[in-house]
Amino acid sequence: MKATNPTRPTPAERISFPALLAVQLGVTIVTLDISLTSTALPAVATGIGASAASTIWIVNGYYGAVVAALLPLAALGEIHGHRRIFFAGLLVFALGSLACGFAASLPALTCARAVVGIGAAAVSATTPALIRTLYPPSQLGRGLGFYALVVGVAFSVGPTVASAILSVLSWPWLFLMNVPLALATVALALRALPATERNVRPFDGLSAALCAGLFASLLFGIAGISHQAGWQPVALALGASAACGYGLLRREAGHPAPILAVDLFRIPVFALSSATSICAFTIQGLAFVVLPFLLHFRLGYSQVEAGFLITPWPATLVLMTMVAAPLSDRIQPGLLGTMGLGIVTLGLVALALLPAQPSVLDIAWRLMLCGVGFSFFQSPNMRAIMSSAPRERSGGASGILAASRLIGQSLGAAAVAICLSVSPERGIDAAIWIGAAMGALGSGISVLRVLPRIATTTHGHGLKAAAPSTPGHAL
């Protein structure tokens, strides 16, 4: 028999690069879209004759749709195949983008952005599961790290791309350009993406509606707090969220594969990794809202200069992800996450203690420290969430991964708004200290994953057997 090289991947372990390209293109388009839209809100407001304040509904409509659709679409991915839901998401995304380009009023544009959000939710809910399909288990950390790298690059270049487009074209082209890109990605994915396993079971429409109501109401309640909407609408939104959550838990009690993946939270590593993710993305949402206020209003930099001064954080994150991602396949995520969030905490404490007249270097090294720390959290934590869940529950794990990110970012932005409304003078410092406290909390939660009793728990522990997956029925 011919000896095999143990360092060379077997045919079963070789990664299909056209398939990987298709998945990462979908991620890039979706991430660029929200980054472009946030940057272009002033131009959009001028173009459709709306006030700058009212255009926040363009963002709220998008995020509301994403959060509402995320977990139901993740469940559909498990049932009908993640590949199929990925295709459907890109097609809905293209349709919504076309409607955005031809929208002539704020309500029309807000509705079109909600359609785009549903498409984006389908792509976000299925991407981690598709990456788990494409990569062998020994390289899953590398694959998820590359995913994080692509998201970081796309998010970072979004403002620059938006400025370049708006310098030569009108705002509708920010959305219309998504249409051919999404359709080209579908064409590539149809040829390259392999069939994905299906966990055949009925889809519960009422549970999906309750899940959508739970998260959409929660998001609007958080947004209401941050915008000081008054206690009545906030209480109504949070009450509706609680009612939907209670109804969902009652309806799905004992279900082997619930839409709201409470079954996966019986796995200690999964539960702790999800909690760590909420803490970390609260920091991210908080930091990227408060930093422009710090740099522009307190330190006197222009908006353009402030944008460039924030760049060291995402740029360092992108570069260090290439180091952290391979490490996550060899070192426990609990250790890397603890170290990473500890470094982020140090960076935020240093930022809170910034001198009254700091130099550019004083600002840059503090933000670089945060970027380094976040890179050592992000890829290992994604790997922990995805690898701790049973393979047939990859869709549920993908949905929780994306939902924890969005909830964390929303909480962070709301924290900044509350701090600034309570004390415009000291609110910036208070928000940064809250971020440092969340970093310390996240680091403390992460280190629990290193405990032998938790680290050795298998992903099947405590879970009921789900229906058998059927690769032969995959698209």
Domain boundary among 255, 287, 322: 255
User: Are 91 and 213 found together in one domain?
Assistant: no
Selected residue with higher pLDDT from 42 and 354: 354
Domain boundary among 154, 180, 199: 199
**Structural domain includes residue 430:** yes
What CATH number did the domain enclosing 124 receive?
A: 1.20.1250.20
469 strand-pairing partners: 199
Query: In the prediction, which pLDDT does 365 show?
Result: 94
Percent of the chain with pLDDT over 90: 27
Q: Are 338 and 173 in contact (CB under 8 A)?
A: no
Query: In the prediction, which pLDDT does 367 show?
Result: 93
**Structural domain includes residue 59:** yes
User: Are 451 and 363 found together in one domain?
Assistant: yes
Q: Are 148 and 325 in contact (CB under 8 A)?
A: yes
User: Are 278 and 413 found together in one domain?
Assistant: yes
User: Are 249 and 345 found together in one domain?
Assistant: no
227, pLDDT greater than 70: no
pLDDT in tens, 148-201: 778 777 876 776 777 778 888 888 998 999 999 999 999 998 888 877 777 767
**Structural domain includes residue 210:** yes
Mean pLDDT for 313-337 is 84
Q: How sure is the predictor about 461, in pLDDT bands with cuts at 50, 70 and 90?
A: very low
**Structural domain includes residue 10:** no
User: Are 120 and 189 found together in one domain?
Assistant: yes
pLDDT in tens, 89-147: 999 999 999 999 998 888 899 899 999 999 999 998 888 888 888 888 778 777 877 78
466, pLDDT greater than 70: no
User: Are 190 and 211 found together in one domain?
Assistant: no
**Structural domain includes residue 470:** no
pLDDT in tens, 362-414: 999 999 999 999 989 888 888 888 888 887 787 788 888 888 887 888 788 77
User: Are 366 and 270 found together in one domain?
Assistant: yes
User: Are 103 and 183 found together in one domain?
Assistant: yes
User: Are 98 and 209 found together in one domain?
Assistant: no
Query: In the prediction, which pLDDT does 467 show?
Result: 42
Domain boundary among 199, 230, 246: 199
User: Are 170 and 62 found together in one domain?
Assistant: yes
**Structural domain includes residue 42:** yes
Mean pLDDT for 431-457 is 87
If one counts the domains in the chain, the total is 3
Mean pLDDT for 320-337 is 84
Cα–Cα distance, 123 to 128 (Å, whole number): 9
Could you tell me the residue range of the domain that residue 155 belongs to?
16-199
User: Are 236 and 179 found together in one domain?
Assistant: no
Mean pLDDT for 13-33 is 83
User: Are 227 and 299 found together in one domain?
Assistant: no
